[in-house]
Structure 1
């Protein structure tokens, strides 16, 4: 038996890290990792260190959206305890190297049903850095803690033969693995797996406190470990690495001394790390309720779960190119969910985690050098390309604005520009046309507005470099990307004052801002229509000034909370059409301050804090998204919110604590003291402010005010003070490009016609002049509608009185052959309509990117249609086209059967075409099901019957759901 002892040196070092008075409760004691494990928070309850490499947590669910973190509070079965987990994400991955104590196992292969165990929340405990649970089936107490690069298990066996399962095939698709016993107590190996990351590698080093009496491997995929009879307690310490088992051992030794299995010392060390992190924002000195403190410090705890350490203690890591690299002078991190976290989490880090933020920036540079672009959603050395935008540029611009990363600014700008010009996700069209056109790319509205903001961030970094170097190349980049940053205007419909998609040069019609569809990213128009954080002044002007903008905000929060269109699980926490459970809405409640009505911000923010967060397991109203939801709570609860990452303004809201102390890394303290005129729960309005003893009338503070230390004194009242922050000079403001010329657009009855079509042009801006070119003609001033009678390309641009031009916008208007009619027996999903009932015979084929439209979608039903040729014809060939995207529940039909008839009632089958595409093929693809007749037949009517894929089988994440048929087009020769 290995000697278990108290490492006095380690214990003394860690317990002195953060001191508390005998009567003062530690901040870690307010943390409840169970928060967010119920509903859709997707957090995990297990043990981890701040920003740690290891997340040692139970796994209770496999293969469902609710189990993205590996755990859901509604479950009562534990499969085991694995060493990596994602916090708050909406996609599954991780769950590496599962270990499970058992007291009996007779199978000769891995079978989770034979080793899983029931458990009860009444005998489960989760604290910062610690997790324990009683495993009912095996009568085993399981406990775990974790250090920055390691985890430690402690299993107490109360009866039976002590054993342990190691399962490397758990959860993800296994691409490769190995496992081996060394001596009598060390297990090493690796797991290479595929899930969200297409190729993830984890090496491991496991050392047991007890000798292994029997080792029974299950090939390379796991093993049963048997310990000597009579053993009552087994500890296992585990290191992991992306590089090698040797490095995994070094990582373990960096946290736990050799020969030591001191669980309590590692737990004490990790809890001191948590105490140090939580102490960066101290809100205890105000008599606050324990519930509010638990909610706050659990939120703050969740902000430091990710990003995660990725480089080993010797600096080595497996890069984006799958090669081994070494981080020199910094730590490489992973799990960069930038679409979520640029909004609040990283700006919060720029205040309280400045040194680590520099490591994040250097991690960005290494990711760019290895993979060719900055991270979008990077996971374990793999770019998932999930979500949209190139939002790393926001994190960089915000850090640089706050004095972080100055040494690397030029390199970072090069990476920003290169990433912003990748030919992907509609960027090429955006660069050409100042808009992502809906016919070319899905989620076109969201991409347009986010690319515009990201381009402003690029312009800010270029401006910073120009101011310091005088190099004209930076001035050129500044001006170029500042102009691009106004492109959001091209999806802002002046009629509805909402962000609306543009298809083939015209506004998409019909348009319902409540509809969730493929023009927006996890949202609808309401939720994306207030995102122009870099040009809020210009946005206000476009919506009719202060009153118009305020009225639109009021309408958002007062709207019916029901959405239409596609069911989107991410849209939760609805207040009207404001959706706090997803990121696009997060800055919106603060926008009232920009029109001089900050008291409305205080109302909305306090409502969200009180009603949509709690310290219960369902205390998050949506995915925590790697800490973004929690960061919103933290920053809003202390009264500072970064509406525009990349500038230095924090918009004020009413703090929920009487005393807030920001303990800054430079040694300064910034105090926020609130004096409520009554109960702080009722006093949600700011009536006056003093900054460092001087009267302060602005509804925001600057970063420079905070970082140099000082005191912000706020008087709170139960009734709104409508004068505070109302004056124009007291409002926060952002301003974009002033000479931007918005695109013109077409107005017509549609872009598909049968006889003739009248096409008009709107210049986009009063006072601008539109120019038009029809077909191969020449540009001339637009002087009225044009009528066309054949397929025609029309090109237009708009010009300001100063001679500044918009890009050229072109559209093709199709004349449909009026030769046949079609009647469908089934109703298509209105989201997927191929532009209407005749869309299947309009001669326009849907593209492989089915999200841009052009396909008719039929769910949970077969497809049957009859084509009327209007007269008897000789039919020699019949065809129909289909799409498959198995991830999106779209499959090829099982088969397509064709029939003909003279009278439209009595049909004769002329042939059948069977599907040959593998149902498990996840590549997005199209296929034509063509039947060429051996001998032409006379018929007037042709029937097409396509057999739906049916109920989704158990191997798919959507198991039990119903598949779609996507069809376009139908043709008869």
Structure 2
């Protein structure tokens, strides 16, 4: 009954969205049919094609078994070999981990005592063909050629469903491998127990990117287990439970009782008992779960409904909407419990705890997008950050399975919290949040001791000093704004003053942000703005001076001033896009991808830059370059993303930019106006309100704004507030093939 209710509710949501927006799509259209989960699985996208639900705990997906950068999710489209199907996957990250609890159906018995040193020595691996592979939101299917088994996967929020169809008369078995690992991950202690003829359970403790990851699982099968073999560290055991660094099992089933074997799997970070509690109700089946997952995705995708006669644009847009709602992932169990990095078990009371917070990436557009399409989840994400703060008294940098990875620079949970509070999201303790923000920026770790002492980070004291200084300056501005919101004047003034640190490292002669010495006068030399040295002996994080010198989203007008005014600033900004794309150095960062000139869309530091022309009184250049990026950096192939997806950021950029908006300063509560690509986009808001963005005459050539109205009144501003969107209404653009250099100019603007 619960499942039927979800399907009906999701259908009502989709149909009502169609009615409210008066769109031309039939009300019975399955929006999820526009999604292609294979987009981003090729190139450097690092996405996975497997089954999950919006922000779900499980991501059940194929594992190729290759430990290389482009296999960070466990899967790459260039590959056609599988070693199994795991239950946890990363979407688009630049570091690989997870791929936990691997199941592999097969039609032969194998000796699992050997310790494979590579995929080549895994005896039960199987080839597959992309022609016999399918993925839709909440569902994945592939035919394993070596064993002649058809694999289907689906999932609910906390329970995965496997459906294996064997060739008639073939032997039927499932291998469970807890020792298998990819990339940075390594199993340190595992266990498998055959509880009864239908049930197995166990755990997998590992170290890797997440240094202390503990996963407990339980699985039930549709048939009795006729026989089984259990292995621990290469030794066959004659009992129903094994423990070791690496354990594995092969379970055998009766082929006479039908061609299908179904498995139902649940996980927990806490215990096997909690994993059992996380199981769906017994009446749920593979088919009802698959339909429910489709319904959940249709509801999630319908938060923004776009209209265009170009189906490929719908595919890119709705796939981006899909990717933007894969992470963060649900981490707390049904009873609210979850494990922290120090192994303490805490309970999320009145909220859902989330993990996989890729904050260096997602604070830029992913989290602002969620305040529009999933505002009910935002306070839970903030509460999750505050729960992590409780353990170390520092806000998280990049959390993976509740572990602080300390990956990347800055403390960008801070702008996420400010953005939520400014937009009226109040489901968290604001005073505690401010305490966390302030204490985080007042501690000494990760270069803050130097930042506080010198007012910037000298290049001789810490690598990536320029990037870190710029990002700390922005975080300081966010703390100042939160202090202002809460009436803390002294804190406001203190952090506002610190947020001007970017002025200390700006070289007015070259126009770049540069590494400065401890004397506060001399620059790091020799200087080549195109030079990249990946993560060591460099002043910039995964980039160069061209890409990092523009990160002052909180004070763009002052940045323009210190450049020398609008014309000099805009000229230098234009040169970013038209300069040659040569990157110099012997250790160039692999993350510098998606190049347009020196602009690198494949990595997040560039994402706000095209929208800065608006502040220099040249909004037509923002319109031009935003459209160029959309047209050249996204497509419908597996190589459809120009860089790591990074847990939704790459896609969130497209979602917002394609409807004509972008949060250049992601904690400002404002969206810059760009160039809408759709004839009509309808944002479905709470309280049955809608905000509609129309673009009359828009086409491949007509991407310049000629004029605009907001709710029927002339609109010439180059930004729009979140508050205005929440009011509902219509923003109407008239588009043309030539720039209107009078629209959006400060002296002419009104709203």
Instruction: Name the TM-score, length of structure 1 as normaliser.
Output: 0.72
Match for 2:142 among 121, 133, 137?
133
Q: Is the 8 A contact 1:11 1:268 kept in 2?
A: no
Q: Take 2:311 and 2:560, find their aligned partners in 1: how far apart are those partners?
A: 41
Q: Which has the higher contact order (CA 8 A, sep 6+)?
A: 2
Select the structure of larger CA radius of gyration.
Answer: 1
Q: CA deviation at 1:184?
A: 0.5
Q: CA deviation at 1:11?
A: 2.9
2:376 counterpart SS class: helix
Per-residue deviation, residues 732-770 of structure 1 (Å, max 9, x unmatched): 9xxxxxxxxxxxxxxxxxxxxxxxxxxxxxxxxxxxxxx
Q: Is the 8 A contact 1:361 1:405 kept in 2?
A: no
Matched, 1:696 2:715: yes
Matched, 1:199 2:216: no
Q: Take 1:309 and 1:108, find their aligned partners in 2: how far apart are those partners?
A: 33
After TM superposition, list the pairs within 5 Å mapping 1:581-592 onto structure 2.
581-592=602-613
Determine the structure 1 residue equivalent to 2:670. 649
Determine the structure 2 residue equivalent to 1:222. 248
Per-residue deviation, residues 781-801 of structure 1 (Å, max 9, x unmatched): xxxxxxxxxxxxxxxxxxxxx
Q: Take 2:694 and 2:6, find their aligned partners in 1: how far apart are those partners?
A: 34
Q: Residues 446 and 617 from structure 1, CA distance in 2 versus in 1: closer, same or farther, beyond 3 angstroms?
A: same
Q: Take 1:616 and 1:290, find their aligned partners in 2: how far apart are those partners?
A: 14
Deviating beyond 6 angstroms after TM superposition, the runs of 4 or more aligned structure 1 residues are none
Matched, 1:707 2:738: no
After TM superposition, list the pairs within 5 Å mapping 1:869-884 onto structure 2.
none
Determine the structure 2 residue equivalent to 1:67. 71
Match for 1:524 among 541, 544, 564?
544
After TM superposition, list the pairs within 5 Å mapping 1:457-856 onto structure 2.
457-466=478-487, 474-505=488-519, 506-517=522-533, 518-565=538-585, 566-676=587-697, 680-728=699-747, 730=749
Q: Residues 16 and 393 from structure 1, CA distance in 2 versus in 1: closer, same or farther, beyond 3 angstroms?
A: closer
Q: Take 1:731 and 1:350, find their aligned partners in 2: how far apart are those partners?
A: 26
Q: Take 2:131 and 2:455, find their aligned partners in 1: how far apart are those partners?
A: 57
1:18 counterpart SS class: helix
Q: CA deviation at 1:408?
A: 1.5
Aligned length, in residue pairs: 710
Q: CA deviation at 1:407?
A: 5.0
Q: Residues 707 and 261 from structure 1, CA distance in 2 versus in 1: closer, same or farther, beyond 3 angstroms?
A: closer
Per-residue deviation, residues 422-441 of structure 1 (Å, max 9, x unmatched): 22221101011111111111
Q: Is the 8 A contact 1:593 1:731 kept in 2?
A: no
Q: Take 1:323 and 1:38, find their aligned partners in 2: how far apart are those partners?
A: 39
Matched, 1:442 2:466: no
Q: Take 1:335 and 1:405, find their aligned partners in 2: how far apart are those partners?
A: 22
Matched, 1:270 2:293: yes
1:413 counterpart SS class: helix
- Higher mean alpha-carbon deviation, 18-27 vs 629-638, is at 18-27
Q: Take 1:704 and 1:15, find their aligned partners in 2: how far apart are those partners?
A: 32
Q: Take 2:347 and 2:747, find their aligned partners in 1: how far apart are those partners?
A: 52
Matched, 1:303 2:324: yes
Q: CA deviation at 1:280?
A: 0.4
- Higher mean alpha-carbon deviation, 507-516 vs 106-115, is at 106-115
Q: Is the 8 A contact 1:347 1:398 kept in 2?
A: yes
2:104 counterpart SS class: strand
1:295 counterpart SS class: helix
Q: Is the 8 A contact 2:378 2:425 kept in 1?
A: yes
Determine the structure 1 residue equivalent to 2:337. 316
**Greater helix share, 1 or 2?**
2
Determine the structure 1 residue equivalent to 2:99. 95
Q: Take 1:11 and 1:140, find their aligned partners in 2: how far apart are those partners?
A: 30
Per-residue deviation, residues 680-717 of structure 1 (Å, max 9, x unmatched): 22210011110011111111111111011111111111
Q: Is the 8 A contact 2:3 2:284 kept in 1?
A: no
Match for 1:247 among 274, 293, 318?
274
Q: Is the 8 A contact 1:298 1:615 kept in 2?
A: no
1:650 counterpart SS class: strand
1:92 counterpart SS class: coil
Q: CA deviation at 1:289?
A: 1.2
Q: CA deviation at 1:405?
A: 2.9
Per-residue deviation, residues 588-628 of structure 1 (Å, max 9, x unmatched): 00111111111111110111101110111000000000000
Gaps of at least 5 residues in structure 1 are 1-7, 467-473, 733-973
Instruction: Name the TM-score, length of structure 2 as normaliser.
Output: 0.93
Q: Take 2:599 and 2:65, find their aligned partners in 1: how far apart are those partners?
A: 31
Determine the structure 2 residue equivalent to 1:415. 436
Q: Residues 261 and 185 from structure 1, CA distance in 2 versus in 1: closer, same or farther, beyond 3 angstroms?
A: farther
**Greater strand share, 1 or 2?**
1
Determine the structure 2 residue equivalent to 1:167. 177
Per-residue deviation, residues 447-488 of structure 1 (Å, max 9, x unmatched): 00000001000000000000xxxxxxx111100000000001
Per-residue deviation, residues 380-417 of structure 1 (Å, max 9, x unmatched): 11100000001110101111111113751111010011
Q: Is the 8 A contact 2:103 2:177 kept in 1?
A: yes
Q: Is the 8 A contact 1:44 1:71 kept in 2?
A: yes
Aligned-pair RMSD on alpha carbons? 1.4
Q: Take 2:406 and 2:710, find their aligned partners in 1: how far apart are those partners?
A: 44
Q: CA deviation at 1:667?
A: 2.6
Q: Is the 8 A contact 1:347 1:645 kept in 2?
A: yes
Q: Is the 8 A contact 2:382 2:428 kept in 1?
A: no
Determine the structure 2 residue equivalent to 1:38. 42
